[in-house]
Chain A
Amino acid sequence: DAKTTQPPSMDCAEGRAANLPCNHSTISGNEYVYWYRQIHSQGPQYIIHGLKNNETNEMASLIITEDRKSSTLILPHATLRDTAVYYCIVRPSTTSGTYKYIFGTGTRLKVLA
């Protein structure tokens, strides 16, 4: 199973872009990169996922390097409500159509007023 490496913590000023990096150097060609966040021990919330192309939705953008060994989650205009632990997950290849997430310890993002 691929593993991910994230910085343990980051600060970001309110209104500025938050760029959260993730290293997944052992990722396989058919494995997706998923991002979730967890606010104060609530259940993790899905943010975005991608395979090789950059992705954007109403919450964030995901930039995946060409070699797929790393990615960056971008929150374009961070607010205080974005303060959370952000998890970068590489979803293992499936053999049976089912899969599991392997969580690391994530990045604790603190948005400062």
Chain B
Amino acid sequence: DAGVTQSPTHLIKTRGQQVTLRCSPKSGHDTVSWYQQALGQGPQFIFQYYEEEERQRGNFPDRFSGHQFPNYSSELNVNALLLGDSALYLCASSYRVPGEAFFGQGTRLTVV
């Protein structure tokens, strides 16, 4: 059983560009959350998707957007990249009935 998979693992982008990160949830999970982790900090919640809708959102600007597909996979899009967007982006999946969330290995985004 594959766990949560994220792609790509590493990415380098230039300021002002746009980026799309992808996440496939663990089998049987229907809820996907995205987190941003800056160096030396704990992960910060960006948003959560369930039934293809954004259900909760953290304190992130509208440049951060997402999507969930019918197969429960998800994308995180970031527009107009800033140097401060450089971070590890983590995807976590869970089943809607409260239980533990499982995290992917993350995508390391570097903005230059």
A29 within 8 A of B: no
Q: Which residue of B lies closest to A49 (CB)?
A: B100
- A32 vs B100: C-alpha distance when bound (angstroms): 10
Indicate whether B24 reaches chain A with its CB closer than 8 angstroms. no
Residues of chain A within 8 A (CB-CB) of B108 are: 41
Q: Which of A34, A43, A103 has the most CB of B within 10 A?
A: A43
CB-based contact A41/B96 at 8 Å: no
Out of A45, A49, A98, which one reaches B96, CB within 8 Å? Answer: A98
Whole-angstrom distance from the CB of A71 to the nearest CB of chain B? 16
Q: By DSSP majority rule, is chain A's interface helix, strand, loop, or mixed?
A: loop
Expressed in whole angstroms, the Cα–Cα distance for A45 and B92 within the complex equals 10
CA distance A95 to B43 in the complex (A): 22
With A94-B98, A97-B97, A100-B58 given, is the CB distance from A42 to B105 under 8 Å? yes
Q: What's the A-B contact tally at a CB cutoff of 8 Å?
A: 62
Contact A102 to B31, CB < 8 A, known contacts A44-B90, A46-B100: no
* CB neighbours of B63 from chain A (8 A): none
Could you tell me how many residues of chain A have their Cβ less than 8 Å away from some Cβ of chain B?
Answer: 24
Taking the closest CB of chain B, its distance from the CB of A22, in whole angstroms, is 13
Q: Which residues on A are within 8 Å of B, measured CB to CB?
A: 32, 34, 36, 41-46, 49, 87, 91, 94, 96-106
Name 29 A/B residue pairs within 8 A (Cβ), A-sorted: A32-B98, A34-B100, A36-B103, A41-B88, A41-B106, A42-B106, A43-B103, A43-B105, A43-B106, A44-B92, A45-B103, A46-B102, A87-B42, A96-B55, A97-B97, A98-B50, A98-B56, A98-B96, A100-B48, A100-B56, A101-B33, A102-B45, A103-B35, A103-B42, A103-B43, A103-B44, A105-B41, A105-B42, A106-B42
Additional 7 contacts, C-beta under 8 A, given A43-B106, A98-B31: A34-B100, A36-B103, A43-B92, A46-B100, A98-B56, A101-B101, A105-B42
